[in-house]
Structure 1
Amino acid sequence: MTLGSRNTEAQLVSVGNPEPTQWQMYDRPPSFTHTVALPNQTITMSDGTKLFVKVSLPGFSANNPEPGPFPVVLTQTSYNTSVGQFVPEVGGANEFLVTRGYAHVVVDVRGTGNSAGNWEAFGDREQADYLEVVEWVVEQPWALDRIGLEGISYLGITAILTSQHNHPAVKASFPIVPIGDGYRDIVFTGGNVNATFIPSWMALVTGLGLLPVELLATDPASFLGAVPDRLTGALLDFQVPTILKALLGEEETVFDEGFWEIRSPMEGVDDINVPTFVVGGLFDLFQRSEPLWFERLNGRVPTKLLIGPWTHIEAAGVPSNGLPRDGVPTLDVLRLQWFDEYVMGLDTGVDDQPDVTQYVLGLERYETATNWPHPELRAERFFLDSDGAMSLDLPADGGEQSTLQQPLNGLCSFSTTQWTAGLTGLIPLPCLEDNRTSELAALKFELPAIDDGIYLNGPMQADLWVSTTASDVQLSVRLDILDPDGTTQPITNGLLTASMHSVDESRSRFVNGEMLQPWHTYRASDRSPLTPGEIRKVSVEIFPSSVWVPPGSSLLVSVNTSNVAQGVPPLLTALVPSLLGVMTLHTGPETPSSLTLPVVPVDNLQLP
């Protein structure tokens, strides 16, 4: 079954299993020698707000663009086009594409960079702007009515949302690490507010917009009002109020209400009718949703999925994304072939490229498949035993293990690297790469890999029977490869506050009769604090991954009571029902704590 969303229930699907294809190189040399910037301009929206835009055209000298018309690449950024001149990944002209015959249009979304207005992070008015920008582009004399949308992170999200308007000029989309569900992916994972990335990201967008210096030369009157508008918007209207509401537990923010539906692009996935190539990362901020985009688009429009071993900034090439590798081309080449086929209208053979390409941890290589989840996936339930073992057999006797509830666990773990978008990964601290230190007090379970090892590919679920001496408990479930020398390699993790355990089974993913990915409701009316001593089953969603655990190593599962890097309880849940106490995990026939894993036959891999 697929995973549902707020507006759709899970659906039964029939998955075929043809042979996967391998990557074939594509190459088209430059047809122009220069990327030529036109004078800066503004676009006036229907409400009078002016958006700042930079246009780059192909040319044969530094100051003389060719007149065109050209097919267009459109990027819409919140990170300031002025910065994009020096860091193209956040909103600058892509010379690789422009010298191959594309015009590149880059726009500051409202309230950011050099654009006027107030920023509200994918709010209704900003999303309406996307369509008006497309309409402006096709009216320009240098533009054909053939547009490709692209970008990384925020820029990739604007590409996804713009494609949902279904303007006939939009022919293709190439979003890199795009969000799907803002609430579940990152902001309130498991009912916990992300205090690591989200505040710093909002500060970054605000800071990069405080000095709209290029606007001074383009529109001095707008410049004089821009900085006060930025400060007022940040302090009183959106950024600071939103963070405070989240931390203080304001119900319309901390529960899954309309605010989050608007900012969850996956809710509009069925409106997309253009070919879409999705790039994701196994350790990205939006790790959960990137393969879901492929799943929901596959069979309706041409779509491809590439998932690398990346954090958020590594997907952008900081310090490197490691491509080309194992036959997989660079992102520039992949984007060129995608746009050449669907925007420029060339015959590139892109349909014959692999549909799904994933890096497999442990194997340390890219592998291709015909679908996601993997066509040969089976959901296998492994029961936890009080002696630390994992088995397909239900333990004959009941047992329990307890640990002190620690609100600050995970400060120095690989989760810190993931949820700072990869920034702390640039710091050579062993505890940021090996999770042993952060899991010293965790309850641990091992599944040894024998024969040809264990191959997991897809989402996962932990069903934990727990009790606490407090009124609530965070449950952090972490998966690692445990090597023979005792070191660990991170795979993935899940986080859930037990009082938010309500699951809508009609929207959850089932595979061969086992629930493999729960859909939590996160409604205020469904929140249910625990009575001290009450034993409750809590299903924790563990974000998808692809990993081969080699023979001699083990799959290590750690159950802990917090992961502060990924999320902290808002004050609504942290102070009223205390989280300080002792958590007990129950196992055995009556309380069968278990993990359901996406097991794929190892013969699907090319083992060394």
Structure 2
Amino acid sequence: MTTRRFARLLSLFASFALVGGMLTFTSASAVTTWKPRGEQYPNTVVEKDVAIPMSDGVILRGDVVRPADADGKAIAKRLPVIVTITAYNKTALGSAGGLGGTPADYLVKRGYVQLTVDARGTGSSEGIWRAFDARENKDGGEVMTWAHSSKRPWSNGITGMSGPSYMGISQLWAAAANPPGLKAIFPQVPGADVYRDVVASGGQLDVGFIPLWLGLVTATGLIPPSVGASDPQSAMTELLNHLTGAGTFTVPLLVQALGGGEPAYDGDFYKERSVKNVIDKVKVPAFFVSGEYDLFQRGTPLLFENLNKRKIPTKLVIGPWDHLQASGGTGFDKAGYGSLAQVQLRWFDHYLKGKDDARLNSDIANLTYYEQGTGKWARDSKWIGSSLEGAKLKVSGSSATGGAPGGITSGARVDGTSDIYPIPVQGLCTRSANQWTAGIPNLLLASLPCFSDNQYNDKLGAVFSSKPLAKAVTLQGPINARLYTSSIGGDGMLSVAIEDEAPDGTVSRLSGGWQVISHRALDKTKSRYLDNVLIQPFHPFTKAAQKKLAAGEVAPIDVEIFPTRAKILPGHKLRISVQAFDVPHLLPSLPDLLGVLTVMTVHSSAKYPSTINFPSVGALPTVK
């Protein structure tokens, strides 16, 4: 037994001894005996559009929800304050479905104050919205300092933060400023790296979600501010600012990106807006929620890992959810800890109210995740821990569009080439289409077969598949498809789905990844390796690093497949699908449009050793 293997076993034994067997699968009813406390107050009362001055003179506005007695009179008591900063117009947020998170009344009736603030240039707030620019990010810390102040008659000086998506990202920017009084946060589905997580995964532009999102913020910003009746001059100023933001930021941003300008590449614009660059400054306990099919499937685990490594109290629950489901807490109770609102209560009661909760860390694991393939929930202490091993499987043989698949094996490979044709409907009816439109299709067409069975879409590209497995293969974390590729036109995009094929032929899409060939440059210093196996490539995605293939050139293209946890059971097949498009998710900028309408070829041989690299849970069994 190697020293490394012995160390892994020792670490695993210690984990069982310390936490009573994390790494074991649990049922929803067997995890915790904690019971949520009841309401303290029968009603709530709202003070709307309270002015919150920023250091540059801009006025943000927030709604203050306080507990009230049976007559609707506010309770005259200083209480902990939960803050939510939104770009979706706090007045309209209550009608936004899951995007708004859990209702405020649950916590307020149990002794909290809720402060919901319109971000700069949105809703009833002054200023021009520029989507997490430096000034907006500074606002977060200033809002928390304002809520902490003894000048607020309803605040006891202790604060927390909550909310999903944009509101989750806002929490991290605010926490990075280390404002006084902030004790804990609860970010659902936050992103870490704006460019790689969502804007241009693999180097093409997200045309499914980003225009929808920009349109949502712009449209809700043009709703006449609710402050108009009491302060018409301020309301007019705000509305004009919002119009200015649409004309000077939102529209030009889309035009520049589609035109192949600066926003089409990674750089200072995205660095300013990516919380991964300030996450080291976050020092307060954080409870993360993520989804297997979420927009920020890639980024949220990275944020959790950062705090987890720095031993800051942090939790992460990853469920089988898209963006709207994870934002609204749909099915959260199946993780075994109660509803999302109940867990928020427990979290804030402990860290904001100082309530003793000796079982918090034993009841709720650092990491709780849903395992695709078995439908079970598991508990662990780390996302990429010592129980994982870097593993490789070989891509073997040839695959033809609509024809027989090539192979995936741990044994001897068969030489082969597989042509990938650009068919602009690839991806159209898949789980990816639902994921990258934030889960909206699932609201309308939840029973659509192609959301749960990828076999129909896969006929439009190349497929590589193992033989039925004799033993289960379990993977956890990010995955890298290293595919040696040539291209007639020198460019193109590889869209790769990793899948589980059941004995009846049903194909479950576990996760996906994308990579533009001309953006193949690899930054090894920022890439992630496990046992010297590249599991998460990092590409610069800059204009300077962009380079097309020469005629006849074959190069390794590392395709980052977003992280997941899955077990492919005995009798099932592990497979990948390779295509040239993923619509309506991604499209190239206009200057690159003709470049993607080309035939690519994936090569498999001793000279061109294409592989699938991933963290394997335990030693990888033989895969034929």
Task: Tell me the TM-score normalized by structure 2.
Answer: 0.90
- Partner SS state of residue 338, structure 1: helix
Q: Does the 8 Å contact 1:163/1:274 carry over to 2?
A: yes
Q: 1:565-580 residue pairs with structure 2 within 5 A?
A: 565-575=584-594, 578-580=595-597
* Residue aligning to 1:351: 361
Match of 2:193 among 175, 181, 193: 181
- Check if 1:362 corresponds to 2:380: no
Structure-2 change in CA distance of 1:85 and 1:493 (3 Å): closer
* Residue aligning to 2:435: 418
* Residue aligning to 2:139: 129
Q: 1:497-516 residue pairs with structure 2 within 5 A?
A: 497-516=516-535
Further displaced range: 366-375 or 164-173: 366-375
Match of 2:32 among 21, 24, 39: 24
Q: Which runs of 5+ in 1 are unaligned?
A: 1-12, 604-608
Alpha-carbon offset, residue 63 of structure 1: 2.3
* Residue aligning to 1:241: 252
Letter in 1 for 2:455: R
Q: Deviations over 1:240-264 (max 9, x none)?
A: 11111111100x2111110000111
Match of 1:192 among 204, 209, 218: 204
* Residue aligning to 1:53: 62
Letter in 2 for 1:311: D
Letter in 2 for 1:201: W
C-alpha distance in 2, partners of 1:496/1:42?
46
* Residue aligning to 1:7: none
Structure-2 change in CA distance of 1:86 and 1:384 (3 Å): closer
CA RMSD of aligned residues (A): 2.0
* Residue aligning to 2:341: 332
Match of 1:277 among 284, 287, 310: 287
Q: Does the 8 Å contact 1:35/1:62 carry over to 2?
A: no
Task: Report percent identity of matched pairs.
Answer: 35
* Residue aligning to 2:83: 74
C-alpha distance in 2, partners of 1:93/1:42?
23
Letter in 2 for 1:95: D
* Residue aligning to 1:481: 500
Q: 1:83-122 residue pairs with structure 2 within 5 A?
A: 83-87=92-96, 90=100, 94-122=104-132
Letter in 1 for 2:433: T
- Partner SS state of residue 38, structure 1: strand
* Residue aligning to 2:5: none
- Check if 1:378 corresponds to 2:396: no
Q: Does the 8 Å contact 1:81/1:107 carry over to 2?
A: yes
Q: Does the 8 Å contact 1:91/1:106 carry over to 2?
A: no
Letter in 1 for 2:611: S
Alpha-carbon offset, residue 47 of structure 1: 2.0
Q: Does the 8 Å contact 2:41/2:109 carry over to 1?
A: yes
* Residue aligning to 1:315: 326
C-alpha distance in 2, partners of 1:305/1:392?
33
Alpha-carbon offset, residue 119 of structure 1: 0.7
Alpha-carbon offset, residue 564 of structure 1: 2.4
Letter in 2 for 1:589: A
C-alpha distance in 2, partners of 1:432/1:351?
36
C-alpha distance in 1, partners of 2:613/2:178?
39
Q: How many residues align?
A: 584
Structure-2 change in CA distance of 1:224 and 1:416 (3 Å): same
- Check if 1:146 corresponds to 2:132: no
Alpha-carbon offset, residue 449 of structure 1: 4.9
- Partner SS state of residue 335, structure 1: helix
Alpha-carbon offset, residue 61 of structure 1: 2.3
- Check if 1:561 corresponds to 2:580: yes
C-alpha distance in 1, partners of 2:516/2:355?
51
Structure-2 change in CA distance of 1:30 and 1:87 (3 Å): farther
- Check if 1:589 corresponds to 2:589: no
Q: 1:386-401 residue pairs with structure 2 within 5 A?
A: 386-387=397-398, 388-395=406-413, 398-401=415-418
C-alpha distance in 2, partners of 1:299/1:364?
28
Further displaced range: 150-159 or 430-439: 430-439
Q: Does the 8 Å contact 2:420/2:578 carry over to 1?
A: no
* Residue aligning to 1:303: 314
Q: Does the 8 Å contact 2:61/2:118 carry over to 1?
A: yes
* Residue aligning to 2:403: none
- Partner SS state of residue 68, structure 2: strand
Q: Does the 8 Å contact 1:481/1:553 carry over to 2?
A: yes
* Residue aligning to 2:616: 599
C-alpha distance in 2, partners of 1:419/1:62?
46
Q: Does the 8 Å contact 1:164/1:269 carry over to 2?
A: yes
- Partner SS state of residue 132, structure 2: coil
Q: Deviations over 1:476-525 (max 9, x none)?
A: 11012111121211200000001001111111111111111111111211
Structure-2 change in CA distance of 1:326 and 1:173 (3 Å): closer
Q: Does the 8 Å contact 2:392/2:614 carry over to 1?
A: yes
* Residue aligning to 1:294: 304
Letter in 1 for 2:369: Q
Alpha-carbon offset, residue 431 of structure 1: 2.5
Structure-2 change in CA distance of 1:218 and 1:180 (3 Å): farther
C-alpha distance in 2, partners of 1:286/1:91?
16
* Residue aligning to 2:213: 201
Alpha-carbon offset, residue 326 of structure 1: 5.0
* Residue aligning to 2:351: 342
Q: Deviations over 1:353-409 (max 9, x none)?
A: 2110001111112111111124311111101111511112342x5321213223442
* Residue aligning to 1:254: 264
C-alpha distance in 1, partners of 2:271/2:139?
18
Alpha-carbon offset, residue 30 of structure 1: 1.9
Task: Tell me the TM-score normalized by structure 1.
Answer: 0.92
Structure-2 change in CA distance of 1:506 and 1:213 (3 Å): closer
Q: 1:439-588 residue pairs with structure 2 within 5 A?
A: 439-575=458-594, 578-588=595-605
Structure-2 change in CA distance of 1:330 and 1:295 (3 Å): same
Q: Does the 8 Å contact 1:449/1:549 carry over to 2?
A: no
Q: Does the 8 Å contact 1:467/1:584 carry over to 2?
A: yes
Q: Deviations over 1:212-260 (max 9, x none)?
A: 341212421111233332222102x11111111111100x211111000
- Partner SS state of residue 212, structure 2: helix
Q: Deviations over 1:446-492 (max 9, x none)?
A: 12453442211111001110111112010011012111121211200
C-alpha distance in 2, partners of 1:565/1:504?
29
Q: Which runs of 5+ in 2 are unaligned?
A: 1-7, 399-405
